[in-house]
Amino acid sequence: MNVKSIATENDLVTALKDKTPFERDVYVATFKIPKGCVSTYKRIAEKIGRPKAYRAVANALHKNPLWPVVPCHRVVSSNGSFSGDKRGADVRRSRVKREGIPVKKGKVVLSRDILF
């Protein structure tokens, strides 16, 4: 399936048929984050019913095969920081800034208005 042809959750699940159920759940939850909003690894873990699996969520998103359809750049640490290597964190920070997310001192300014 071509990445550009993924428009719905069902399209996404079909495209991810070779992934584990956990990875599919993470990618589907991340797919639902609208532009202009962010979530945290912990919130994604809670949304998929695995509240203690926030590190596993981060690992799954690190391997995201469907960026930008699955907008992993919109997922940050609970303190608003961008985890991972410096170059990748800088790219994700730039992308959320372009989407209008407030960033101060390198971290997302988390508020109810932007948390998904």
Using one digit for the tens of pLDDT, what is the confidence trace for 78-103? 999 998 889 999 999 999 999 999 99
Topology (CATH level 3) of domain 3-108? Arc Repressor Mutant, subunit A (1.10.10)
What amino acid positions are annotated as catalytic residues? 72
Which range has the worst mean pLDDT, 9-13, 53-57, 82-86?
Answer: 82-86
Domain spans of the chain, in order of start = 3-108
Q: Is the pTM of this model over 0.85?
A: yes
Tell me 8's DSSP state.
S
115 forms bridges with which residues in the sheet? 38
Residue that is written with structure tokens 């991340």 in the block: 30
**Whole-number average pLDDT of the chain:** 95
Residue located via tokens 């960033």: 103
